[in-house]
Every structure is written in structure tokens, then in C-alpha cells.
Amino acid sequence: MLVLGIDPGSETTGWGIVEGDARRCRLVGFGTVRAPARQRFAARLLKISDGIEAVIGRFHPDACAVEQAFYAANVQTAIKLGQVRGVILVAAERAGVEIAEYAPRLIKQTVVGYGGAEKQQVQEMVRVLLRMRELPQPHDAADALAIAITHLHHTSPAGRAAQAAKPPPARVKLEALLRENARRR
């Protein structure tokens, strides 16, 4: 399965493409769609929509996984983020791509093993899970890859069985990595 993960943002929207299933996934590509703050908001929404449509047209994903809206302290920020999510959902729907939405805590729980993980922890686990040499940059793209990985873990039969039987594979890899680092010290 080829999954497009999207981390919505009104200035920087991250995207990441992952292929595979819950047991094994590989990196296909990642990047961002940037919409400068100096542009009118409607123009930024158009740029984000066009950018996501271009990514979908280039990679032809089977599914599009998007981070759900969270409660922001600033109401205006939450409304703008909702509008960004709207143009992303419309772009995916227009392309006929299956759409799934995941809460930020679930994404962190799936990838890191802890729902309150920091951005750096998510980046590091994405790097480990996708066998990347360097951290995916910027963090918006790393978050998008984490969202795509989450979709693989929550939709494949292997992922559902693993969740029911044991800790998430990301948690197992993290614990092995921590043990290895402890031995080096």
C-alpha cells in the first residue's frame, strides 16, 4: 500500500509517502508545500491545494492520511488550520484517494510509543523506522511521514494483530535502540 501522510499547516504543509505494511515500510518521498505568510490567506490555501494535488498526481497514493485538528489556544489559528485541512481533504477526495484522519496523540503513540512525545522523538523514530541516514527535515515532513506510518499500522491486518498482541513495532525498536545506546556508555 502506498500512503500519503499530510501534516497541515497554514504556512508549511508537510507531506510524506511511505509504501508497505505494518511490518515493513519504506520511504518513497517527502517534502513540504510552503505558502508564505505575506500572501493573502485565500492565495495560500490555493497554493496548498495545488501543491497537494501535484503530489497526488505524481505518486498516485492508495490512501491519504491527514492529522486531525487539535484544540489550539488561539481560535483564529484553529480556524485557519481547519480551512487548510479542508482544502487538503477536497484535493484527496477529488483525486479519488481513500482518506483517513488520525489524532496527534495516536500518531505519537504509534510511532514513538508515547502519546506525549516531542517533535525530536518523532523525527528520530521516523528515521529509524524508515532506515534513513539523517533526520527527515523539516519537522513538518517528518510528522507527515509519521502520519503515513500510523496509517499502515492501523489499516493492515498485520498492524491490527500486532497492536492487539504486543507493543507497537516502533516501541520495540525504540527499546532496542535505547538498550544499545546504554551498552555503549
**In this structure, how many other beta carbons lie within 10 angstroms of the beta carbon of residue 77?**
11
Cell of 51: 501543491
Question: For 69, phi and psi rounded to 5 degrees?
Answer: -65, 145
Residue 156: its pLDDT value, please? Answer: 63
**pLDDT band, residue 101 (cuts 50/70/90):** very high
CA dist 140 and 51 (Å) reads 15
Count of domains for the chain:
1
Grid coordinates 508545500 are at which residue? Answer: 33
Q: What is the pLDDT of residues 111-163, one digit of tens each?
A: 999 988 999 999 999 999 999 999 999 999 999 999 999 999 998 665 544 55
Catalytic positions: 7, 67, 140
Q: How far apart are CA 18 and CA 129, in angstroms?
A: 11
Residue positions counted in the chain = 185
Average pLDDT for the chain: 89
Predicted pLDDT at 76: 86
115 vs 112: CA distance, rounded Å: 8
Report the share of the chain in percent with pLDDT over 70: 85
In CATH, what number is assigned to the domain containing residue 106? 3.30.420.10
Query: What does pTM read for this prediction?
Result: 0.83
Range of the domain at 94: 2-184
